[in-house]
Amino acid sequence: MSNKEKIIELIKKNDQMSVHQLADELDISLSMVHRHLKQMLEDDVIYKIGSAPQVFYALAQKEKDKNISLDSNIEKIINQNFLFISSRGERIDGVSGFIKWCKKRNFDFNQKAVKYVQIYNKYEKLKKNNVISGRDKMINAFGSNVCVEDVFYANFYAWEVFGKTKLGQILLYSKQSQDKKMIKEVVDIIQPILKQLIKTKKIDALGFIPPTVKRQVQFMKVFEKYLNITLPIISIVKVQTDIITPQKTLNKLQDRIENADNTIFVKENKNYKNILLIDDAIGSGATINQVACKIKKKNIAQKIYGFAVTGSAKGFDVISEI
């Protein structure tokens, strides 16, 4: 029996095992165990639980179904865009994740696969140059008080039926887990989209919306660093109040406007033509609009645009023809 086969048997017997436990049982070096586990992870034979120094490995459950037969285009779209993260923290991308998601909810896989592609195509039609414009939504929300020329989303945070999008999930878990590798994954997706937008709109300065929730690893700070875009960064600061009230905890639009207006300030003396404000996610748009209004009032820029990794789909016209 090979060492890989022995590892499988040991994990099967014990449910989960660490590298040290496997090395002791097999009487081989830690480096050799790591080498086997790396290959087994790549082959989806096992999955990893936890992060250093507490890491365990368990057997992956292979999802098989004789009744599953996918059109190649549907399979391609699901493989590229679907992500399932289980309650135990297992990440499964693509069709395998979709199968698991359907089985967990007792859904018919083939029917849901067709539905997924319909919704995907519906929202893809909203994109132009790989971004979704939220201009009409901003006008509907703020009327004559809109201070941005336009706001762009790389994708929606969530869809109907299927919940959070792949990008929405990666964004959420990268922030919650403060995982720099996942933040880098977001950057890898966003960077070419952002560079194209900067070129199209002739952006000559950037502004990053500051976070409202205290974390040891702040998504926006790491995001800004990994983006590594060589443009001037205008100073936008969030003042600390006695009681911190994150925007997402406020339900009323006016409360969000007041919160942003009284806690976020722009410290900038230079003038620019076109500024792009960047945020991780936009719900109502209150924060990014109020920051734009402050910039506009100070005559710092001629035009101000907004960009978010994800945005809320609420308030967009639904395209029904598929």
pLDDT at 284: 83
Return residue ranges of the chain for CATH 3.40.50: 127-311
Successive 10-residue mean pLDDT values, the chain, 322 residues: 90 89 92 90 83 83 58 92 87 89 91 95 94 93 92 96 95 90 94 96 95 81 92 85 57 70 80 96 89 92 96 65 25
CATH class of domain segment(s) 127-311: alpha beta
Question: What pTM was computed for the model?
Answer: 0.78
Domain 3-59, CATH? 1.10.10.10
Q: How far is CA 279 from the centre of its chain?
A: 12
- Kind and range of the H or E element at 145? none
DSSP labels, 180-228: HHHHHHHHHHHHHHHHHHHHHTT--EEEEPPPSS--SS-HHHHHHHHH-
Return residue ranges of the chain for CATH 1.10.10.10: 3-59
